[in-house]
Chains A and B, each alone.
Chain A
């Protein structure tokens, strides 16, 4: 093993959230998955949620490998089945915070039935969907989100199917938190994941991300950095957008933002309510009464708040918080569809954003996925600290600009709906 990698392992700020004994990872240079994992790790840190109580579940695919690299309890399941496995975990131990991290083919293709039913039940899960418009792991076939006319290995003459818009699908199915970002918006991804970790109910976060090795190469769209430029040119920030207007055409506009945030009893809250009516106040699930569980939950929430406070007291964290965009108030469930103003997301230039990754990988992006898996890209992994540490400040500087706009706009249209459920205090913002 090269010394580069050892140095990376020792010095990485991700050392506590990644399984360093599993580095280097299999992902190609310029792939969007790594930066999502960074955002996730950062979100976990900021959230104050006890890392011991987090479980990460993935399906199969390049994104499905996330479960194997994060240093939490983690399950790498079968193709498409991450959500029902996560459902089992959550219902078997409601104290756990369960995160599903997987690809769009896994979640919306083979696992589509589970996805819509978990949303329908408002199952208390955080679902992070890496949408790269392709079946990466198997070599770039068409997926349920591949835009029309895009070339895939199984649509060699262009895709003629109609793709899903995942926010619309999730909205229709009943998800209570829906956000979409691109790989360019790593700060926003972090913020959305953080919000999702702290709320109750089914949260769906879609991240449009580049697969340079297959989707970009096959469609002659350049490398990861070029795609980030596309995201910058074409992203339209629209919190509270009507999810019917979130479809993505081939290299077309990408509506991003937090589209839905509303409150409704989760599956477990609804089940508790039914059981307490039936059995009475001494109803117990797994030997614990509801007041006992609530007391534990309250105590945990206090610990989370304390951890958050401690984190914000750290000098580095403070700096980050200062630069963080003002929190956008939640769009109200029914009202804010009226938001019509178009907000161009003015983030920093894409080339700058990927400065860290660009150097290492550019040449390798053409390598097929299989090859990359067999020969772990040591260089890319070694570069990772640079990717994370260096451009962060720039990202922040970029997102800062958009911040006032976001809040000004959303404030005008929407206020968070008051939670009506018994566990309303769980909503941290």
Chain B
């Protein structure tokens, strides 16, 4: 990935005391995002508000659209007109965005969407935390899609991962989703925004070659292929239909295979380069706690207590949720007696862990129906059970 220093105009360098939602907006601005279209929804609204407040001084555009369908649609338009784009929402809004999330995947449009998860289903508990949209992020749109999803566990990571989300999104030309939660979104902590020259950003790569060679797509299962910008004179065409490299409709089974394989392998085939994990004492551990987001911070207490009891516990924190770290779970499976998977949902990512463990280690789900974080004691009990 070719990177340059961030444009200082969007970087509010220095130490701040801010919440995760605001840090997401700052991360976007630092990464060079200059277009935000959104629709208010608790607990994500603060990101939109921050962006709206900062937009005039940074020279960015903020628009509150009529709904989330329109918000993500506007991102697609703005991205092809040359801007880096983002929006923020949570479950009910994300459900509405799913339609054009599919279009964005299909048209390989870079964008960042933050889902500050709240407890569902439906309108659920608007002000209460959850991690219930983990599967929706990947499997929301119909058809086979691959996206990237990152999961910050602190306001600082909200900033850092938003910058990274933009970089991945620009390089792989894929929507990247920040899957945070109400607790992190509303948690105030110290956030240090580095000076602009220390923030590496992937600049928008626009095609500038001869017109007859211009192709909006290249189905090679790789990232790095340039965008074509509206107004540059290439008369590009893009569609949600199955298409050829020119972007023209070509809805046949053969072409469908080419397109879908590319979309899936672009991410799965580069999983090793994309995935980031935070591991602590996983090698030689008898029990590995697999967690993410706010739950990983709760799990720390349980892990510390278990270690005091002499249990060899490792921690595997998923920073990248999608693509899932199949390989790493596979390596640990069979070595550890068990995986313990606490998450604020009825058991979602635990299914992935089970799949990758392939029966070689026990997998224990510590689920929670949302509205609050786990009691660390519950996780500790699961660790003890896992160690038996």
Contact = CB atoms under 8 A, between A and B. Distances in A.
Contact of A286 (B34, B56, B236, B238): B34
A89 B63 CA distance: 12
Given A55-B230, A283-B56, A74 B236 contact: yes
Interface of B: 34-35, 37, 56-57, 59-61, 63, 65-67, 69-71, 73-83, 85, 99-100, 102-103, 230-241, 248-249
Interface in A49-102: 52-53, 55, 57, 67-68, 71-78, 81, 83-93, 95-96
A52 to B, nearest CB: 4
B230 A279 contact: no
Given A78-B99, A84-B69, A89 B80 contact: yes
A76 B241 contact: yes
Contacts of B57: 279
B201 to A, nearest CB: 16
B237 A76 contact: yes
A278 interface: yes
A84 B237 CA distance: 17
B70 A75 contact: no
Contacts of B79: 88, 92
Contacts of A68: 237, 239, 248-249
A55 B237 CA distance: 10
Nearest to A95: B231
A117 interface: yes
B7 to A, nearest CB: 9
Contacts of B71: 84
Interface in A332-363: none
B77 A71 contact: no
Contacts of A412: none
A114 B66 contact: yes
A393 B82 CA distance: 42
B84 to A, nearest CB: 10
A275 interface: yes
Interface of A: 19, 21-22, 52-53, 55, 57, 67-68, 71-78, 81, 83-93, 95-96, 113-114, 117, 267, 271, 274-275, 278-279, 283-287
21 contacts: A52-B235, A67-B237, A68-B237, A74-B235, A74-B236, A74-B238, A75-B77, A75-B238, A75-B239, A84-B65, A84-B70, A85-B77, A87-B74, A88-B76, A91-B78, A92-B81, A113-B66, A274-B56, A286-B34, A286-B83, A287-B59
B63 A87 contact: yes
B56 A91 contact: no
Nearest to B76: A85
A386 to B, nearest CB: 26
B74 to A, nearest CB: 3
B231 A93 contact: yes
Interface centre among A81, A84, A93, A287 (most CB of B within 10 A): A84
Contacts of B236: 73-74
B238 A76 contact: yes
B233 A89 contact: no
Given A68-B239, A78-B100, A93 B63 contact: no
A400 to B, nearest CB: 35
Given A72-B235, A278-B56, A93 B82 contact: yes
Given A77-B103, A78-B100, A96-B81, A85 B240 contact: no
Identify the 8 closest CB pairs spanning chains A and B, nearest first.
A88-B77, A88-B74, A92-B78, A84-B73, A92-B81, A76-B239, A84-B70, A88-B78
A393 B281 CA distance: 84
A372 B231 CA distance: 33
A52 B99 CA distance: 30
Contacts of B100: 77-78, 81
Contacts of B67: 113
Given A76-B240, A96-B81, A114 B231 contact: no
A27 to B, nearest CB: 14
Instruction: Tell me whether chain B's interface is mostly helix, strand or loop, or mixed.
Output: mixed
B70 A19 contact: no
Contacts of A67: 237, 239
Nearest to A276: B56
Contacts of A57: 77
Nearest to A53: B231
B235 to A, nearest CB: 5
Given A78-B240, A87-B63, A88-B76, 6 more contacts: A19-B248, A73-B231, A75-B76, A76-B238, A274-B56, A286-B34
A91 B74 contact: yes
A366 B205 CA distance: 48
A267 to B, nearest CB: 8
B30 to A, nearest CB: 16
A286 B249 CA distance: 33
A67 B238 CA distance: 9
Contacts of A73: 80, 230-231, 234-237
Contacts of A89: 77-78, 80-81, 230
A81 B60 CA distance: 23
B152 to A, nearest CB: 26
A21 B56 CA distance: 44
Nearest to B228: A73
Contacts of A52: 231-233, 235
A96 B35 contact: no
A182 to B, nearest CB: 29
A88 B237 contact: no
Interface centre among A67, A73, A88, A93 (most CB of B within 10 A): A88
Nearest to B57: A279
Contact of B230 (A76, A93, A271, A287): A93
Given A73-B235, A85-B77, A284-B59, A92 B82 contact: yes
A55 B81 CA distance: 9
Contacts of A95: 231
A91 B71 CA distance: 13
Contacts of B34: 286
A93 B79 CA distance: 10
B91 to A, nearest CB: 20
A143 to B, nearest CB: 19
Contacts of B248: 19, 21-22, 68
B59 A81 contact: no
Contacts of A21: 248
Contact of A81 (B69, B81, B239): B69
A90 B248 CA distance: 23
A71 B74 CA distance: 22
A232 to B, nearest CB: 36
Nearest to A267: B63
Interface centre among A78, A96, A117, A287 (most CB of B within 10 A): A78
A274 B61 CA distance: 12
A114 B70 contact: yes
Contacts of A278: 56
B83 A92 contact: yes
B240 A19 contact: no
B298 to A, nearest CB: 39
A173 to B, nearest CB: 11
Nearest to B56: A275
Nearest to A117: B66
B81 A117 contact: no
